Each structure stands twice: as C-alpha cells, then as structure tokens.
Amino acid sequence: MDKTQISISPSGEQFPLPTREDYRAEYTRLEKLAAEQRKSGKQVVVVVGLGFVGAVMAAVVADATDKKGRSTKFVIGVQRPSSRSFWKIPLLNRGVSPVKAEDPEVEQLISRCVKEKRTLVATYTEEALKLAEVVVVDVQCDYLKESLGNVRTGAAEMAALEASMANIAENIPAEALVLIETTVAPGTTEQIAYPIMKKIFQRRGIHSEPLLAHSYERVMPGRNYVASIRDFWRVCSGVNDAARERVTQFLTEVLHTDKYPLTVLDRPIESETAKIVENSYRATILAFLDEWSLFAERNGVDLKKVIEAIKVRPTHSNMIFPGPGIGGYCLPKDGGLGLWAYRHIFGFEDDIFKITPLAIDINDTRALHAPQLVRDALRNMGKPIAAARVVLLGAAYREDVGDTRYSGSELIVRKLTEMGADVKVHDPYLDHWWEFEAQDSYPRPDYSWSRFFHRQEPLKNLHIEKDLWASLKGADAIVLAVRHDAYLKLDPDRVFQSAGQAFAMVDCFCVLDDQKIRRYLELGCEVKGMGRGHIKRIKDRLDSQPKPRATGRRR
C-alpha cells in the first residue's frame, strides 16, 4: 500500500486514509447522530484537534451532565486525516484513548463516553462544523525557531490557525459559539481570528457578530490529566458581551466551576496574555535555577536538598528542579508567541523583552550539559565517550507521560551521538520516538533539531527499547533523564546485575537519593548528577571507610 495513504497507530495497526467517496457517507452518519442527540436535548459540540488537549477535553465535555445526571452534550471530535494523526479517529471511535498517560481516568472516561453514554464520536470531516452549537478549537499554534538557543530568531506559525479559523467560519451556523483554547500570540482572537470570521460571515450573508471567545488550557498530562482539565480554575473572555456570556455558560456546564470558579476577563487579549505570562513565569523560575545547578555541581552542593529546604517557606513553595532541559509543547514556545505578537500583531519595533527570551534560551540549551557529565564520568572510569554504549532512561519531557515534544532527552541523544556514543533509549510510555524515526519530516521538514548536530543520520533507526533490563546489558553509561515511576524505584544491585559491569550513572533529574548514590559508588560505578555537587563528598567518605562487601570493584 502507498505509505502516504495509510496511518499507523503507535502499536503498529494500519488504517487507510479516507477517500473522497468516504466523506459524503461520513457526514450523513454524523448528521443522523446529531439529529438523534438533539432530540434528547443535547447540545452538539465540535472539538477541533484531537491531540493531548483536544482528546481529553472532548471527553470531559461529552461526560457533562445536568443536576439530574442526564448527559447534556454530544461531542464530535474533528481530527485532520494526515498519515501521522488519522489513526486517532478509529481508535477513539473504539473507545480507546489516542493519548497515553499514567492517569487511569483518561481511558475510563473515553471508553465510557464512546461506548456507554454514546456522547462522543471522532471524525475527519470538517463538514461536522455545520452541526455545531459550540466549537472548541484545540489545534496547535507552533512557534518555529531558526536557531538553537535564540528564540528571537523564531516566528509564530499562524497560517495553519488562520486556515482553521477560516474553515470554521465557512461552515458553522451563525449563532455557534467558537471557543479558542489554543495557546495563541496575544491579540490573535481579536486581531486575527475575528476579522477572518467577520469577513467570511459577511460573504455568507450573515449579519450577526461572530461569537468568538478565548479560554486557555492548563492541562497537565500525567497522573492528574483529566482533573487538570475538569477540576481546575479557568480564565475566559469573549470578543463581545454575548460571546463572554456564552463561554461562561458553556464552561460552567462542562467543568466543575462550583469548586474551581472561573475568572472572566474583559477582553480576549487579557486572557491570551494571562496564558503567556503564566508560562513565561514558569519558564523563568526554571531557567533561573540553571546557573545555581552549575554552582551546586562545582561547589559540593546538592541542589535537590537546597530546593527542598527553601520550599518549606510557603512563599517559595513552587520552586522546582529544572531537570535536563525544559521540554513540553508549551514552556519552550509560549514566551516566543508574546514577543512575536508585540512586533507582528501590534507593530512595535522596540525591544522591551529581556527576561522572557533569555529564560527560554537557557532552558533550550540546558540539556547539553548532560552529555558533558556523561563524558566526564566515563573519563574518570578511563573510558572515552566515543563508541561508549549509553542507555538513556526516559524520552518524554516529564514524568508519567508519553509526550516527547521538545524534550531535553532529544538533545541529550543528539549530542551524545555527535560525540560518538552509541545510544539506546527506554521509555515505558512510548512505542516510537518520532523526532528521530521521522527526523526528515517531523515536526516538519527542515525543522528537526538534527540540523544543529553532526552525525545524525543513523538516528532514524533509533527505536524505543521495550525491555528495560535487557536494554541495560553491557551499558558503559546510564542516563536517568525523566522521573518516571519505574526509574524512581530502580534497585542499584539489579541495575548493576543487568549491566554486567560497572558503569557511569548520570542523574539529570534528582532521581537518586543518597543511599542509592552510595550503593552505585560501592558497586564501582561513577556517579554524577545535574545540580548534585555533593556526590564527591559521598565518594570521599566511602573511600575513607573500610570497604563493605560489594559485588563490584571500586576504581
């Protein structure tokens, strides 16, 4: 079969993409379903984009009930049928979540809404928009960076979002509420989306105002994935009074706003700016710890304990260790959307931003320090990094999720490979690491991070190891990159046994406590960690004590 005409799910199942003839029948199916559901009093909601946010938001909406426990919404999730994403549609229609996460409620919720309540379906046809009373926009708006460590050279990718808004305006009924949840450059809802919709409405002969609103997502994929959408505070706003009232009503009906009250702001630019400032603030407090992480490593300080000591003070309780880079889809890009808006939406030429871009640049390059620690640890063991076998544990950007977007781990693998190491990767939440397997085309042609490194060609063949213990065999170095539960529980003796030799252990995310560090050292391993300057002290103490019986040999 022509590979461009099929979509392969993460587990390897192949789905042929829909043909032109399929579209008619698909719309007829949806029309019938929507009519039936309306008869039973449900509102038809179309969620555009079934990614990490849209898939779960669609299910949260589909699960909504009134005070008597009756379902109030029928949700049609629209996902574009690209070969990379189409598989999400048939999977979701079977009641299977297209996103993997540690939160068991994700699977339960999707299965319940699709199979039992029958309030959730997925489709590829954008004609579904014709049936909408509410449209929720959960597509991505990328910020494309032209260089590594300089966010200022990037640009917001507005074309796709503009096309989505135009398409929505072409299809929706005039009175439908359009809620943009996508994180956008401040000003987008009023200065970009509204004029697009207004012009198309005028051409369609619609004289009423588009009911356009903005409310950003604060979803945290992971253990509390569903709750982070449904049981969490939201900020919203609308382009006019009617839109503001409609969005307030809609969110009150689908989220637990009784316990987590809504903040309704006056204008969408305020809600859009709130999102960008919220994430820039987070990016900044993470970036700020990068220099202290180096300070700690060079001066015998364990930054992990320092942060824990500071966090006891309630005013500083949200301080977090930065890990090997700050990945995820949001923090590396959101500040960039703000900078871009200032210049390209509002037309200012001066440069008022200092901290926001600097924080992103620091975070974007922090991961490059991890390969240096691997190099140094191996050197202390008398092994050169070139041709060393390195096993990286954790590809995702954070614990308990399978999202690899902009993860620090990607940079670690690329840099280690450039330095000549042979890298294997394990991650319990992933079947494929598309940033490598499809590096010529993902995240889009010419935008892979591979362009910033040498010797990247072989990484197309990188696959995710499924058997953790087998993957460790013969390792010269092991890099703990993510705080996945399975890695927190690793027993040093078992790891040592699986490797079959002493190795360099590099902890990038405070995975190891002092007891484990000590045990690895006893086993003859070299241990280093980002921000963990105290390891040398543990080693010195060990060296000055009579040796306990150990399976390994200290060098």
Ligand X SMILES: NC(=O)c1ccc[n+]([C@@H]2O[C@H](COP(=O)([O-])OP(=O)(O)OC[C@H]3O[C@@H](n4cnc5c(N)ncnc54)[C@H](O)[C@@H]3O)[C@@H](O)[C@H]2O)c1
Residues binding ligand X (CB under 6 A):
48-54, 78-80, 85, 138-141, 160, 164, 182-183, 217, 219, 221, 329-330
CB of 94 vs ligand X, minimal distance in Å: 17
**Pair of tokens at residue 446:** 């010419």
CB of 230 vs ligand X, minimal distance in Å: 14
**Pair of tokens at residue 207:** 């004289």
Smaller CB distance to ligand X: residue 142 or 361?
142
CB of 134 vs ligand X, minimal distance in Å: 16
Give the dihedral of Cα atoms 236, 398, 327, 514; nearest 10 deg.
130
Q: What's the rounded Cα separation, in Å, for the pair 156 and 276?
A: 13
Q: Note the maximum CA span of the chain.
A: 88
Smaller CB distance to ligand X: residue 98 or 238?
98
CB of 183 vs ligand X, minimal distance in Å: 4
Smaller CB distance to ligand X: residue 52 or 250?
52
Q: Are 285 and 318 in contact (CB under 8 A)?
A: yes
CB of 235 vs ligand X, minimal distance in Å: 12
Q: What's the rounded Cα separation, in Å, for the pair 98 and 380?
A: 45
Q: What's the rounded Cα separation, in Å, for the pair 383 and 378?
A: 5
Smaller CB distance to ligand X: residue 130 or 554?
130
Burial track 460-488 (b if 16+ CB lie within 10 A, e otherwise) = eebebbeebeebbeebbbbbbbbbbebbb
CB of 522 vs ligand X, minimal distance in Å: 40
CB of 133 vs ligand X, minimal distance in Å: 18
CB of 333 vs ligand X, minimal distance in Å: 7
Reading across the β-sheet that carries 43-48, which strands appear in turn? 120-123, 73-78, 43-48, 134-137, 177-180, 211-214, 235-238, 263-264
CA distances to 1, 125, 321 from 200, rounded to whole Å, are 39, 20, 48
Q: Are 395 and 482 in contact (CB under 8 A)?
A: yes
CB of 93 vs ligand X, minimal distance in Å: 15
CB of 494 vs ligand X, minimal distance in Å: 33
Kindly calculate the radius of gyration of the chain based on its CA atoms and give it in whole angstroms: 25
- Helix-, strand-, coil-residue percentages of the chain, each rounded to 5: 45, 15, 45
Taking the CA atoms of 404, 407, 411 and 413 in sequence, report the sign of the dihedral they define: negative
Smaller CB distance to ligand X: residue 219 or 512?
219
Smaller CB distance to ligand X: residue 51 or 531?
51
Smaller CB distance to ligand X: residue 332 or 371?
332
Nearest to 214 by CA among 196, 239, 185, 245: 239
Burial track 108-147 (b if 16+ CB lie within 10 A, e otherwise) = ebbbbbbeeeebbbbbbbbbbbbbbbbbbbbbbbbbebee
Smaller CB distance to ligand X: residue 329 or 487?
329
Q: Are 530 and 508 in contact (CB under 8 A)?
A: yes
Residue number, nearest CB to ligand X: 51
Amino acid at 227: A
Burial classification of residue 13, based on how many CB atoms lie within 10 Å of its CB (0-12 exposed, 13-18 middle, 19 or more buried): exposed
Chain centroid to Cα 400, Å, comes to 11
CB of 281 vs ligand X, minimal distance in Å: 14
Is there a cis peptide before residue 104, judged by omega within 30 degrees of 0? no
Smaller CB distance to ligand X: residue 71 or 171?
171
CB of 52 vs ligand X, minimal distance in Å: 4
Q: What's the rounded Cα separation, in Å, for the pair 407 and 398?
A: 8
Q: Are 438 and 415 in contact (CB under 8 A)?
A: no
First to last CA, the chain: 56
Q: Are 496 and 479 in contact (CB under 8 A)?
A: no
Smaller CB distance to ligand X: residue 217 or 476?
217
CB of 138 vs ligand X, minimal distance in Å: 5
Smaller CB distance to ligand X: residue 49 or 338?
49
Burial classification of residue 555, based on how many CB atoms lie within 10 Å of its CB (0-12 exposed, 13-18 middle, 19 or more buried): exposed
Smaller CB distance to ligand X: residue 72 or 93?
93
Smaller CB distance to ligand X: residue 138 or 399?
138
Residues in Cβ contact with 4 at an 8 Å cutoff, skipping those fewer than 6 apart:
83
CB of 101 vs ligand X, minimal distance in Å: 10
Smaller CB distance to ligand X: residue 80 or 473?
80
